[in-house]
Each structure stands twice: as structure tokens, then as C-alpha cells.
Amino acid sequence: MTSPATAPATATEAPHPAWLPPEAFQALGARRVLLHGDGPLVDTVHDEVARACARHGGRVERTAAGAVDLVLALRDSGPLPEVVPAGATTAPDPDGGPLGDEGFLLARSDGVTVVLADAPAGLLYGLFHLVRLGEAAFTGEQPARAHRPALRRRMLDHWDNVAVHPVMGQVERGYAGGSIFWRDGRPRGDRDRLRAYGRLLASTGVNAISVNNVNVGPTEALLLTERLDDVAEIADLLRPYGVRVHLSVTFAAPVVLGGLSTADPLDDGVRDWWQSTTRRVYARIPDFGGYVVKADSEGQPGPFSYGRDHADGANLLAGALAPHGGVVHWRAFVYNHRQDWRDRTTDRARAAYDHFAPLDGRFADNVVLQVKFGPVDFQPREPVSPVIAAMPATRLAVELQVTQEYTGQQWHACYLAPWWHEVLAFRPWGPAERSVADVLADASGPGPRRGGDLVAVANVGDDPFWCGHPLAQANLYAFGRLAWDPRLDPAALLDEWIDLTFPAATLDDPALVRETLHAVLDDSWRTYERYTAPLGVGFMVNPAGHYGPGVDGYEYSRWGTYHFADRDGVGVDRTRATGTGMTGQYPPPWSQVYESLEQCPDELLLFFHHVPYSHVLHSGSTVIQHIYDTHFAGVAEVVAMRDRWARLAGMIDPAVHDRVTERLAEQLRCATEWRDQVNTYFFRKSGVPDARGRRIH
């Protein structure tokens, strides 16, 4: 079945405050605050503090007038106020180095908490760090500590359509209602909601968004030219929160918009068109971030039409953006989507590496190659993409999916931060070498130091709860925080989100609320994995909307997403010895680990190997019994989630409780359907009964 519909918000319905309710600002708002510095972002900080103080009894001043509890100061705005204790400025910074455009220093000495920054954005991020800390920011002595983002660009891609798409609707892969930017071909015009969205993003550290779908239609293409004012209005509303706007563009824009006969990236007229068009963009939006491009993929136009490659195409746009400081995010999601299912030599999982690895070193410095975290398509379990290790001379962005296309579409509770943390912590060259996060953060290691970005497909819409499912807000929050610091612990991030979203002062039993939310969310990604596709095989999903089971839904399709189950076994042989050779795209030791049936991790076994149902996993279970056991266990875990949540009735906002209760009921129905269809399918294929004698239809 397709996913259940989400009712759009009404024009007068105020959105849920998410993790920024007024009560979250109580510790800050009860203090005497001195703000030192000037500029639009400093004014944003002032407005935030003033609003908190008006509610909670504190005060905020721009010049010192007596004792203060908190100083927020730009270090380059003249001498620091005398009320700043010496200990706050002379204490050693263990991290060393400059704070940069977005970093800040936090210290507490002699009863005064101090946040210092070298640039206004750092002061804004320092303010929201204080909100996260609450009373802990105003307790005891705290030596100076620098906080800097690990990644330069922390970005959300909106797959929002300006005009309603006849198949995908207003938002492609959107599960929270309509777009917050667009409605029926025009700007939505909800300025308050856009400002509130910018505030949520800034509070987590997100500093960039693209505002339209990477599948650029005719109406969306016009945002680059005659409808640029619509983009500028969004940029104006988000700028006070340090969020820069990017735009998805069609590679065919010179033909579609400019009337040229070609979009050949080596054509002088095409180059001139992009340069002049980009100059006009920056004249209207001086802090414009750049372009996002999906080219030669799933029907989108690209350089292949002219006998050129992706480096030619990306460098064309990079050249137009470079004089203005912009970047082009060129997506590596390129594969043949018209495959013959009879041909087992063609492997979609190989495609990004095969297309892009030979081009390493040819991309301009302001090209960011945007690579999906796995080699296929945002499945609940995939190996990390081999492209990340294959391109040391190219700037990379790892792309995640906050919108839950293949993880329950925000009808299922599925906290994704543990999965993302595994991806970011993965070490492509072995346990002693750099992690994926190190590659993105410019950490030292072999080859040129390029650095990169973390990008995710956004999950918000015009639903009152932003994400459809109130608990899906935790994924949006965790993405921003992990993009700021990939080392953060997902469980600690969940604690942060709980403490902000459900302030203890508003609850009769905050310990029970925290315990319940951890019980529901901590293992929810693995619960989803248990009742859906087993052991990394992926794509046993209904093709009509990617929701619910469709075990053979893609098995004979053109999309190249197969599991090859037959009477003898299941899985895709991607070995060098007998399969597609995809294991050879990884450097050692992973090329050997994935090649080896004995060493391959259980959770990826069917991604890399076709095995008999009797194959014994490292866990000691056979493949067929693992399928049965995990699918029964997954449903039992959803029952426990539902029952635990029911205990919070009357303890939290009834609207939140009711919405989550509704979603958990649907999750249980859908999980049961997954269990019954998957188990029955494999029972009928294999003929092997469940060793525990449970009913399989």
C-alpha cells in the first residue's frame, strides 16, 4: 500500500515549537545579560535573549550597567566589557587555533558565564549552545573551551516542487504535508513559518538549504531567472539565522531558459550564459550559496548528451560560481535506470564508483561531489559508499536522508542518528585510519586535504508538527548536531532533544518521559530493519510509493534493485570471484572482508553474497531462521513501543500524544504486514519451516 495521507496545516495553525519551546529558554531568560557587538546576526541574538528575558524575568543590555550573569561578546567589536572576568579570557583553550567564522568560546569564572566569538554567526551558535545547557551553563567554574563546527557546510536539500507534480505532489518524498516554501505554483507566503524554520535550523547548526527539488521541472527552472525574486525572499527570511540559500538547477538551463541550441559544457556561448546568469543571481542575493545539480540520472539532462563527462559539466557551473564564492553540489547518484533484470552482470551498486572514481582530481576546487552514504539508495542497511575512499583529490559531501523514504515515511518511529553515526564513524582504510567524518572534516591523512560537507534530504512540511510524526523531529535535530560534530553520541543527542522538547518544568514525571522516549527510539532503526528487508538485501518494498512490503515488487523491474531469491537461496553476488566485482571497489581491508563469505558481517551478507537458506550466520542462526526470528521480533518490539507510549497519556501535550499514538498504531499494522508477507514468501520459496513452530501463512 502507499503511505497514509498527511493532512496539511491550515493557514492559521501555528506550528509546534519543536525543540525550542519558551520553557527551554528559562535558564537564559532569568539572567542579567550583556550583549557586546553589532550586526544583523547580533541583532538576532539580542531579539532571542530579549524575548526570553521578557518571559522569565531577566534583562538584556547592550552596555554594562551593574553586575551581570552572562556576557555574549564579539572579540573584534572594541575592548571587551570590564565585567568580563579575566579568567574567562586568559584560561587556556585546549583546542587551540582561531575560532573562525562560526566558532565560539565558552567559559565561566567568578560567577559570570562568557560566550566569545570572532564573528556574529559564532555568537548565534553560542547562544543556542547555552539554551541546550540550561542551568548547567550557569553553574560552577568552567574553563574556556572552544566550540567549532567540524564541517564547513551543514546543509538540507528540500525536494519541494513549486508546481504540484502529477505523481510526486508538492513535495517529492515528503511525508509531512505540503511545502513550507511553495503552494500550487507560487510562493507559499508564510513568512512567520519560514522564520521559525530558520531558527530551528540555526539552533542545531545547519547553515545552508536548497529550496527546490533536484528533479527540476519547467516551473522550478524559472527560479534561476524570472522568478529569482521568490528565492530572494526566502533568503531574506533565513539570513538573520545564518542560513544561506542554494538552488537546484537543470543542466539544460541554457536551452530551457536561455534559448540556446545547446547546453554543451565546452561551448563558449553556454559558458557565457552561465556566467551572466550567475552574476545576476548574486546581484540579487549577495550571499547566495550555489547550485545543486542532478545530471544524467533518472532522466535528468546532463553532459553525456554532448559526449562530455561529469567533470566537464560540474566545472562549467563551478567556473560561473567561483568569482562569487559559490559552490556547486554535483550529485553522484548516477546509474542506468533502464536495466535488464535478466542481466546479472549489471550492478546498480557499482555505478557511482564507475562513473566518478576515474575523474578524481579533475573537479574544480568549488565543486562538491555529493555522494549518497551507501552505494544504492538510502536503504535501512547498506555498506558505506566506496566512492568516499576513492576520491581523495575531490571535495565530497555525504548525503543522508532525513525524510524517511525507505524507513517508514514518518509514520514509523525510526530514530536514524545511530545509523548515521555508524556511517560517519566508518573507517574506509581500516581501524587505524581516518573515518568518513575525518574525510569530510579535513583531518590529516593520505592524499590532498579537501574537506567536505554533510547534506541531507529534508523532512519538514506544513504539518503542525513539522515532520508529520512528532518523534521524527529528533531526526532533524540530530542531523544538524551530527553535522556540527560527527563524534557526538546519538543517545546523548536524544537526551538533548528530549530535554528541550519536553522541558522538565512542564512535566509531572520527567524521568518517566525520558525513559519512555529512549525505550521507544533508541533501537527503533534496528527494529525497523528487523521487520523489513533482512541482512542488507534491501528494496523488498512496494514500488507504489516505497511504503509497505512488496517482496518481489522490484525483482523484475528496470531499476536494478534485486534480491535474486529462488528455491535454493537469496542475495546478490557482488564478489570478484563469481559476481559483479563490486567488492573490489573498496580498499583493503574491506575489499577482502566483503569478498569473504566467512568474514562478511551478518548485517551485510545478502548485499554481497548469494547464499543458501541453510547458511549459518556468525550469530549461529541459519539465514532462513534469522529471517523468521527477526520479523517476529520486530513486530513484538513495535507492540512494546506502543504500550510504553500509552503510559504517557495525560503527562504530555495531548496533541502530541494523540498524534504519536495514531502513528504507532499504523506502524504496528504495517510491521505485521511486513512480517507476514516476508516470512510467508521465504517459507514458500525455501520450504523450510520455522524451528519455533510459529504460524506462517
Rounded Cα distance between 304 and 452, Å, is 26
Q: How far is CA 107 from CA 113, 130, 134, 492, 516, in A?
A: 6, 11, 14, 22, 34
For the chain, the residue count is: 697
List, in order, residues 6 or more apart from 275 with CB less than 8 Å away.
Answer: 319, 320
Burial 85-95 (b: 16+ CB within 10 A, else e): bebbbebeeee
Q: What is the DSSP letter of 169?
A: E
126 contacts 100 by C-beta, under 8 angstroms: no
Of the candidates 377, 382, 499, 637, the residue annotated as catalytic is: 377
C-alpha cell at 636: 513484538
List, in order, residues 6 or more apart from 248 with CB less than 8 Å away.
Answer: 157, 210, 212, 213, 214, 216, 220, 291, 292, 293, 294
Rounded Cα distance between 611 and 321, Å, is 50
Of the candidates 135, 192, 298, 489, the residue annotated as catalytic is: 298
Active site residue 666: no
Amino acid at 291: Y
Q: Is the dihedral of CA 633, 637, 638, 639 positive or negative?
A: positive
C-alpha cell at 377: 539508495
Q: How far is CA 631 from CA 287, 626, 663, in A?
A: 50, 8, 20
| Backbone torsion region of residue 167, taken as left when φ is above 0, otherwise alpha when ψ lies between -120 and 50, otherwise beta | alpha
H or E segment and range at residue 59: strand 59-61
Residue written as grid cell 527539488: 213
Amino acid at 172: E
Active site residue 405: yes
Long-range (24+ apart) CB contacts under 8 A made by 694-697 are 694/628, 694/632, 696/628
Rounded Cα distance between 419 and 477, Å, is 15
Of the candidates 69, 312, 405, 637, the residue annotated as catalytic is: 405
613 contacts 682 by C-beta, under 8 angstroms: yes
Residue written as grid cell 493557514: 11
Rounded Cα distance between 516 and 403, Å, is 23
Rounded Cα distance between 162 and 212, Å, is 7
Rounded Cα distance between 467 and 485, Å, is 23
**For strand 70-74 and strand 32-36, is the pairing parallel, antiparallel, or unpaired?**
parallel
Active site residue 377: yes
Question: At CA 209, angle to CA 204 and CA 212, rounded to 5?
Answer: 145
Nearest to residue 157, comparing CAs of 237, 195, 214, 238?
214
Question: Which residues are catalytic, by number?
Answer: 298, 377, 405
